[in-house]
Amino acid sequence: MLLYAVLIFVGLLGLEPAQGVGNCPRRWGMYADETNCGKFYNCVDGKGFPFDCPEGLAFNERRGVCDWPDLVERCDAEAYLGFQCPEPTAYELQDFVNPPYAHPRDCAKHFVCVATYYGKRLPRLLSCDEGTVFNPSTRTCDDPVNVPGCENYYGAQEDPFNKRQTLRRQGR
């Protein structure tokens, strides 16, 4: 009778034996990819469906959500994001809690370096709003014309009013 009660209790808890296949350790649930922090599998009846986290985020299997890589135990945030936080200067620490740094290849992105509870600073990838780029001089998102090397990041912007005037003059 006691064994029967225990089996019913375990069944009510929803515990299931590990019967997964491939990327699914169990038949149901969401599981992190073993080699890529930004990928995970939603396992439905033992079949894994792959998903990608938004850029700059990693799958936190414990919480079941895409999260900052520095908060995901199994993720090396520096290797995953391809950025290592430099030692902050006295100026940076005076003016910024989490100093921002320009992305080496993308004008519209930047990193902030957050201090962890064990003293290491780890990167988080952030993006500027559409139409702006990161300005390393002001350490803020700014109009591209104010950032040398990023002036044409969004391409040549066409003024719709001038285009209408041109079309009218051409008889269109």
Predicted confidence pLDDT, tens digits, the chain (172 residues): 544 444 444 444 455 555 667 889 999 999 999 999 999 999 999 999 999 999 999 999 999 999 999 999 999 999 999 999 998 777 777 666 788 999 999 999 999 999 887 778 999 999 999 999 999 999 999 999 999 999 999 986 555 555 543 333 333 3
Sequence-distant contacts of 45-50: CB under 8 A, at least 24 apart: 46/19, 46/20, 46/21, 47/21, 48/21, 48/22, 48/23, 48/24, 50/23
Q: Is the dihedral of CA 5, 7, 12, 13 positive or negative?
A: positive
| Number of residues that make up the chain | 172
Report the alpha-carbon angle 131-96-99, nearest 5. Answer: 65
- CATH superfamily of the 16-76 domain: Chitin binding domain (2.170.140.10)
The answer to whether domain 83-153 has CATH 3.40.30 is no
Ranges for all domains in the chain classified under CATH 2.170.140.10: 16-76
